[in-house]
Amino acid sequence: MVIRKGATPIAPGQRSFVGGSMGDVSVILEGVEGEEARSALYSTVHGAGRVLSRTQAAGKYRKVVGPDGKKRRERDPSTALIDWPAAQAELRSKGLELRGGGADEAPGVYKRLEDVLGYHAGSIRVAHTLQPLGVAMAGADVFDPYKD
């Protein structure tokens, strides 16, 4: 058995889901037979792929002392490449309900899913394109031990 880390299985006829970034489309794909599919081990992307790291997007961490006297880390927005309030306004202007999230997951942090899928056209067929209605994720103030 071969396992390709960070990949979505997509054997001929098999359907899989690939999510886009916050506010971007998601797709249901179907695998197609061909040399490209075989050479990719019948797998494809699991998402669009980042163009900015979390630190680049949301800013470097700095140590601060809270009102309770405890030390903690918080992002320094002056070092961020993503303007989170502007990204929120853009998402809301598209009619999307936005709950939680942060600059490290903003649309500008990721490649466009449709562009990425174009490079895999020989091994997949887009069966359905799904338009987002909203975004729900933990907010920037919520500790997530699984973030990289």
SS3 75: strand
User: What is the rounded CA–CA span in Å between residue 111 and residue 93?
Assistant: 20
CA 23 to mean position of chain CA atoms: 10
pLDDT per residue over 52-74, tens digit each?
999 999 999 999 998 899 998 88
pLDDT at residue number 128? 97
User: What is the rounded CA–CA span in Å between residue 94 and residue 60?
Assistant: 29
Residues of the chain with pLDDT under 50: none
pTM comes to 0.80
pLDDT at residue number 136? 87
CA angle 84, 45, 60 (to 5 degrees): 30
CA angle 17, 22, 23 (to 5 degrees): 95
pLDDT at residue number 139? 72
Can you read off the two tokens belonging to residue 8?
């979505």
